[in-house]
Amino acid sequence: MKRKSGPFNIAICPPPGISARAMELSRLLQGRGGLFTLNKRSRIPHVTLYMAELPLENVRRAASALKDFSSQTSPFEIEFLSYKENKNGYVDVRFRESPELLRLHKRVVDLINPLREGLIRNRDREKMGELSKSERRNLELYGSRRVGSRLDPHLTLTKLREDQGRVISGLPQHNFSFRVTRIGLFHLGPHGTCRRLIRGFCLS
């Protein structure tokens, strides 16, 4: 009998003011061809640390591990770099890869990867032939392309129906730097969205 599993995301939860700015820009981009708009419940603003397919029976263990880890992890600052429109249509807020951020990412991967039990999301498995050697290796070892040196810290505002090239040129120049004090375990939705928060964890 096939085990039940699902896609999950462990991500940084921005503070309310940063989330409000992200939602404002997401609504603005909807009028420029955005496929989704960020909100507080089903497309929640976040900065991904690790996406993984997990057996449903291991989700509680993942939450427990993240709770213990978070209680021993200090808050830190994350620095806004720029807006970016990717070639595949995603419009992102980009952040600097600080040592503190990379350590947080690595610790989360080390904790959660064993609970994945080798599972890979179907959509990633289907694209295996299109990936670079390092991306394929990450998928095989961690079930995610964006691990280690391939981490790209960002907050996605939306995905455009088609690449527009200059859509970010007119966006208001908000400052998205903030202090990281909370991470969350989320159900992963379409286009990399966080569609529901399972549990949040405060850094202390």
Residues 70-82: tens digit of each pLDDT: 999 999 999 999 9
Three-state DSSP string of the chain: CCCCEEEEEEEECCCHHHHHHHHHHHHHHHCCCECCCCCCCCCCCCEEEEEEEEEHHHHHHHHHHHHHHHCCCCCEEECEEEEEECCCCEEEEEECCCHHHHHHHHHHHHHHHHHHCCCCCHHHHHCHHHCCHHHHHHHHHHCCCCCHHHCCCEEEEEEECCCCCCHHHHCCCCCCCEEECEEEEEEECHHHCEEEEEEEEECC
Q: Is the pTM of this model over 0.85?
A: yes
Domain 5-202 sits in CATH 1.10.540.10: no
Residues 166-194: tens digit of each pLDDT: 788 888 989 999 999 999 999 999 999 99
Please state the domain extents for the chain: 5-202
